[in-house]
Amino acid sequence: MKEIKYVLGSQWGDEGKGKTVQYLCQEAINQGKKPLVVRYCSGPQASHTIMHDGITHVCSSFGSGVLLGVPTYIDKEALIDPIALKSEYEILKNKGVYPIFKFNNYCRIITPYDVIANRQNQESLSNGTCGCGVWETINRLNKDFSLEIPIYENDEEIYRTLGKISDFYGMDRNDELEASFVEALEFIIIHSNYSLDPGNYDVHIMESSQGLLLDGEKGLKPYITPCKITTWYSNDSEIYLCTRTYTTRHGAGYVPIKSDYIKYPTFEANKDNEYQGQFKTGILDIDMINRAIDRHCLDNIENCKFNLVINHVDCIGSMFEYIYQGRIHVVPGFDAITRIQNLINLKFNKVLIGKSPLSEFEIK
């Protein structure tokens, strides 16, 4: 029977989903099974840092099993930016890694015009966009399906559609960008492994680009993406719910409360950036984790095993601060893991404990 494992961020991202996906891939390989990472929603706004055998890589388009040689399948609800995917492929190749991937013929394609529109949209900017064109692409397709890129059509038809998209945004056409896009689209078509059949893999590890509170339907508006994380309601699956030992936030909206006790890691993959601004951290907000669980009705999924992943346990100081039932609580640091596990509104089959960022998980 095929195993389905979903890796979910419990808040706004940055919870260690990439590291968890790689761990599950390695676990499957050690058990003699064939894992496949499925990018089942969202797009190249992912920033999942993984490390293996002396190589560090930030996965945006590819699944986080790529350094282990685990293939990536990009499903129909996910989005592809051909230029971004080609660029990441070349980065991996220069590190000696040759990614194996296949994309669903019906997945949505981000064009350069979507990216430009995203970066010029004041509403998107004020809501904390990543600047990757995800929102604009989905909005464009929701308004007019004739603006969908015909992946396997000839170049003439693709250029014709690009012209319609530039008109949709009221932009002048950019020949250089369009040529780069068409070249990148041809590249990923050529390099896609058409013999890859998801049905031939024992373990499907489902990887999203975002946390639950950014979900297009059940996140905390207006600081969301249009992508939907939990529309699957898959029975007989496992869910790995990830959190750090403190709250993180990119972009506008919720601002974490500062803590005097957090011991920040010497390595932090998340950086301030042009579109989302400052990377913010603070006291772990367990109320927000429980709010995400409630909004997504996770406890209504039948026959599902829940597992908790607590990353960055080495960042716990002498005392541990957390928010629960509207109040800030302070307890000795050694009590942190027990508090996190017991106060989240789910019953967990197992708890994985990880340090930051290069460490093995300990199973509790």
Judge whether residue 291 has pLDDT over 90: yes
Give Rg (Cα) of the chain: 20
As beta bridge partners, residue 328 has 323
CATH architecture for residues 3-104+196-363 = 3-Layer(aba) Sandwich (3.40)
pLDDT tens, 89-139? 999 999 999 999 999 988 999 999 999 999 887 776 666 667 788 989 999
Residue 232's pLDDT band, with cuts at 50, 70 and 90, is low
CB 280 within 8 A of CB 324: no
Residue 31's pLDDT is what?
96
pTM (two decimals):
0.93
Q: Which residue ranges make up each domain of the chain?
A: 3-104+196-363, 108-191
Looking at the annotation, which residues are catalytic? 14, 48
> CA-CA distances (angstroms) from residue 234 to 20, 208, 237, 302, 358?
20, 15, 6, 8, 31
**Helix orientation angle between 112-120 and 175-191, rounded to the nearest 10 degrees:** 120
Q: Work out the pLDDT band at 269, boundaries 50, 70, 90.
A: low
Nearest 5°: phi and psi at 47?
-145, 70
Which one is predicted more confidently, 348 or 42?
A: 348
